[in-house]
Amino acid sequence: DLSQLNGHIKPRYVRVNTLKMDVDSAVKELEKLYKVQKDETVPDLLVMPPGSDLHAHPLVMNGRIFLQGKGSSMVAAALQPQAGWEVIDACSAPGNKTVHLSALMKGQGKIIACELNEERVKRLEQTIKLSGATNIEVFHGDFLSLNPEDPSFAKVRAILLDPSCSGSGTITDRLDHLLPSHSADNKNYDSIRLHKLAVFQKKALAHALSFPQVERVVYSTCSIHQIENEDVVSSVLPLASSLGFELATPFPNWQRRGLPVFAGSEHLLRMDPVEDKEGFFIALFTKTTNKLDNPK
C-alpha cells in the first residue's frame, strides 16, 4: 500500500483544534508518546516523527487534534479570517480547512461551507460535528451556482477555494505514474483530465473574485502541475486587477515560490514533493482599493 510508505518518510503533522484545546496542552499530552515540535510556519501545527501513529489516539477521536498535512494547514492560515467575519469555503468536504477556518475565527462569525457531492457532504458534517464548531452552515450544491449579488452573501469578506485537483503532489499519485501499466493511453487520458480540472479551477477562481465585498481569496491545490496552479492564477489576473485585487505573498519567509512563468509569480507559494515531502500550491489575492470606502 503506497499510502503506508508515505507515512514512513514524511513527518507527521497534527493540527491542534483550538476550538477545543490549546497548543501547549496538546504538546504536553502528545510528548508522552513521541517527540513533538511546534511547526515554524503555522502556529497551531505540531510536527512529529515519521511513522508516529495517532489515528486511534483519544485526542484524534474526540476532535481535539486533526491529522492534517502542512500544506493543507497553511491554506486557512494564509487567508487569515478574523473573528466575526463571514467566509465562504467553496469546495469544502471533508472539511479539514473549514473547521480550521472556524478555529482561526475563534468560533465567531459565519462560514458557509459549500460542497457539491452528496456523499462528501456527510463527511463534511461529521468533521464539523467532531470539531465542535457552531458557526458553519453547510450548503449542498455547486459553488458556481451561488449568485454573488444575492443579499445573503453581501457581508462575505473572504473565500477559501480548494477545488478538485489531480492530486499529483501526493506520493501515491506520483508512484502510480512510475508503474509499468502507466501507458501512452493513460497519459493521454491524464492530459484530458488535467485540462478539464483546469477549466473548472479557472471558473471557480473567477467566481470567487466576483463577490462584491470579498477582500481576500485563497486558492490552493495539492497538484504540482503548472496548468492547475500558475496557469489558473495568470488566467484570472486581468479580471482580478479590474476588480481591485492583487496577488499578496502568503508566508513571506517561505523560500519556494511559484514557477517564474509570469510577472508576479514570486508571490505564489509552492511546496515540492521531494524537498518538502509534499506537493502543494497556494495563491492569495487581496483587495486594497476600497479600504477607505469600507472601513472595518
Among residues 142, 150, 266, 272, the one that binds ligand SAM under rule CB under 6 A: 142
How many CA atoms lie less than 13 Å away from 50 in the CB half-sphere? 9
**β-pair partners for 15:** 45, 66
β-bridge pairing 45-48 and 12-16: antiparallel
Residue partners of 187: CB distance under 8 A and separation at least 6: none
Among residues 42, 74, 105, 114, the one that binds ligand SAM under rule CB under 6 A: 114
Q: Considering the complex, what minimum distance in angstroms separates the CB of residue 292 from ligand SAM?
A: 33
Tell me if 91 contacts ligand SAM by CB under 6 A. Answer: yes
Among residues 10, 120, 267, 277, the one that binds ligand SAM under rule CB under 6 A: 120
Residue nearest to ligand SAM (CB): 91
Task: Give whichever of 36 and 104 is closer to ligand SAM, judged by the CB atom.
Answer: 104
DSSP H or E run through 84? none
Q: Considering the complex, what minimum distance in angstroms separates the CB of residue 228 from ligand SAM?
A: 11
Tell me if 80 contacts ligand SAM by CB under 6 A. Answer: no
Tell me if 96 contacts ligand SAM by CB under 6 A. Answer: yes
Q: Considering the complex, what minimum distance in angstroms separates the CB of residue 104 from ligand SAM?
A: 14
Q: Considering the complex, what minimum distance in angstroms separates the CB of residue 164 from ligand SAM?
A: 4
Core vs surface per residue 241-269: b (16+ CB within 10 A) or e: eebebebbebeeebeeebeeeeeebebbb
Tell me if 143 contacts ligand SAM by CB under 6 A. Answer: yes
Which residue is listed with cell 500558475?
Answer: 230
Q: Give the cell for residue 53.
A: 501513529
Q: What is the DSSP string of 212-246?
A: TT--EEEEEES---GGGTHHHHHHHHHHHHHTTEE
Task: Give whichever of 100 and 287 is closer to ligand SAM, judged by the CB atom.
Answer: 100
Among residues 163, 250, 258, 279, the one that binds ligand SAM under rule CB under 6 A: 163
Task: Give whichever of 280 and 285 is closer to ligand SAM, judged by the CB atom.
Answer: 280
Give strand ranges (E) for the chain.
12-16, 37-38, 45-48, 65-66, 86-89, 110-115, 136-140, 156-161, 216-221, 245-248, 269-271, 280-287
Tell me if 95 contacts ligand SAM by CB under 6 A. Answer: yes
User: Does residue 91 carry a catalytic annotation?
Assistant: no
Among residues 144, 154, 175, 261, the one that binds ligand SAM under rule CB under 6 A: 144
Q: Give the cell for residue 273.
A: 514533493
Task: Give whichever of 70 and 97 is closer to ligand SAM, judged by the CB atom.
Answer: 97
Could you say which of 91, 114, 165, 222 is catalytic? 222
Residue partners of 101: CB distance under 8 A and separation at least 6: 76, 79, 81, 87, 89, 111, 160
Number of chain residues interacting with ligand SAM (CB under 6 A): 19
Binding region for ligand SAM (CB under 6 A): 72, 91-97, 114-117, 120, 142-144, 162-164
> Which positions are catalytic?
222
